[in-house]
Amino acid sequence: MSLGNGKRTANREKRRELQEQLTSETEVLKDKKLIREEVNHRIVSGIKTMPLEYDSIFNEEKARQNKDSDLLILLFQRMFFYRLNEKLSAFECDHTLHLSEQILTQMQFSRGKMNEVLEVLKKNGGICDCEIIYNVESQLIGK
Q: Dump pLDDT digits (tens) for 70-101.
A: 999 999 999 999 999 999 999 889 999 999 99
Tell me which residue of 76, 50, 51 sits closest to 63, measured CA to CA: 76
Percent of the chain with pLDDT over 90: 73
Q: What are the respective helix, strand and coil percentages of the chain, to the nearest 5?
A: 70, 0, 30
Residue 2's pLDDT band (cuts 50, 70, 90)? very low
Give the whole-angstrom CA distance, residue 39 versus residue 82.
Answer: 8
Note the pLDDT of residue 143: 75
Note the pLDDT of residue 12: 59
Is residue 3 scored above 60 in pLDDT? Answer: no
25 or 79: whose pLDDT is higher? Answer: 79
Residue 30's pLDDT band (cuts 50, 70, 90)? confident
* Mean of per-residue pLDDT scores for the chain: 86
Question: Residue 141 pairs with which residues in a beta bridge?
Answer: 58
Is 78 strand, coil or helix?
A: coil
Tell me which residue of 91, 81, 95 sits closest to 136, measured CA to CA: 81
Nearest-5° Cα angle at 49, 19 to 103: 155
Note the pLDDT of residue 23: 44
Strands (E), the chain: none
Q: Per the confidence metrics, is the pTM higher than 0.85?
A: no
**Amino acid making up residue 140:** L
Is residue 19 scored above 70 in pLDDT? Answer: no
Tell me which residue of 36, 129, 24, 128 sits closest to 79, measured CA to CA: 36
pLDDT tens, position by position, 108-133: 999 999 999 999 999 999 999 999 99
Report in angstroms the alpha-carbon separations of 28 from 40, 55, 141: 16, 9, 18
Give the whole-angstrom CA distance, residue 143 versus residue 58.
Answer: 9
